[in-house]
Chains A and B, each alone.
Chain A
């Protein structure tokens, strides 16, 4: 085993305790480079976990592994009860990942964008409306084209898409980047509300003060390994 402290001992543990993410000595490669070199981590439902660490440490790779976008080379990994070693395509339906882009259509309105993402998962109009309401996008904003929105409003529209899709695990890579102070406060508010409603959120960020205040727990990633709980 690598130098990382194992946080869980078996995948079955997770199912019993309601863990959303369970990685045990997970190794993932980008080309031949080990982006994750024996990472172990457990994340419980409703947590807001901050991943911190220097550039190239493996934060984004860990998010991509959890999203089923990066294959698991060795070790074991389970996300939302799906084994990433065998079914990583299946986990994508349960997970929403937002990086530097929001995945929005700028000629469409907020309601049309959220409605589109909801329709992909078979959400009803009521569920789509509720998703917008939870992100504070109902009312006047719902009919505004995305091209006219601020960066913070766009980010909230993307998050409403995750709610409409009923994504259980939200993976956010530098979510505060490009937002002004009001946008950051608003984002934190909706993320806390989402976690209170049952979403599990993993945030990768360099902005430790901001994201640290948001998170319920922090771990550091160094050289592709999770260094354990920092709080």
Chain B
């Protein structure tokens, strides 16, 4: 009996998270790096008023930089001993590989974002109301879905290339600009930055949702041919 796509995707996500749990790269390296970025900005800007204003943007900038590490790591474990090739050679459905790896990256991003929001509240004195909290959680979930999808797609594309460490940021950063803009605006509303109302943040979720759906579908369709190339 062959396993269905969702069962295989679940097995791949579980395996990726187990690899991370064993290696502790996210907890010992990526989260400290992202928090360090926030701290360095606090030193560089050195003004509570400015920090309060730019906190949402810094949270998402640190998230996007960290996505590069997470994605590179996610595919490094696949290519170290030819496991990605072995999965394709074994006829594993590329949609399942894409879904499984996207979910694993998304889970790690969620943990990272929680740490970054806490850092923003502590370091930049960001304030979150109840309504703002709902918007913030929704923003994180939708933006994380989009980021994980696009990062997995481009991570797979770069995995088999020479110079993938430098190629991935060049490919990924321009594409995730809409997430940076949309998530920053929504988070500004959630934090009440510059007196922006929470209700003004919800329309930005539309942009994030379109991005997430678009790259989830495109990624599922294109991942197989891109990896096989």
Contact = CB atoms under 8 A, between A and B. Distances in A.
Interface of A: 67-69, 89-93, 95-108, 112, 116-117, 119-122, 145, 165, 167
A83 to B, nearest CB: 15
A107 B3 CA distance: 24
B1 interface: yes
28 contacts: A90-B91, A92-B88, A92-B89, A92-B90, A92-B91, A93-B2, A95-B89, A96-B89, A97-B89, A101-B82, A101-B85, A103-B83, A103-B86, A103-B87, A105-B15, A105-B19, A105-B81, A107-B22, A108-B19, A112-B18, A117-B90, A119-B3, A119-B8, A120-B8, A121-B2, A121-B3, A122-B1, A122-B7
Given A90-B91, A93-B2, A108 B83 contact: no
Contacts of B22: 107-108, 145
A63 to B, nearest CB: 10
Contact of A120 (B3, B18, B82): B3
Interface of B: 1-3, 7-8, 11, 15, 18-19, 22-23, 77, 80-83, 85-92
Contacts of A100: 82
B77 A107 contact: yes
Interface of B: prevailing SS = helix
B37 to A, nearest CB: 26
B81 A120 contact: no
Contacts of B90: 92-93, 96, 117, 120, 165, 167
Contacts of B77: 105-107
Among B8, B86, B87, find the residue whose CB has the most chain A CB atoms closer than 10 A: B86
Given A69-B89, A103-B87, 20 more contacts: A68-B91, A92-B88, A92-B89, A93-B90, A93-B91, A101-B82, A103-B85, A105-B19, A105-B77, A107-B23, A108-B15, A108-B18, A112-B15, A116-B15, A120-B11, A120-B92, A121-B2, A122-B7, A145-B22, A165-B90
Contact of A67 (B8, B23, B83, B89): B89
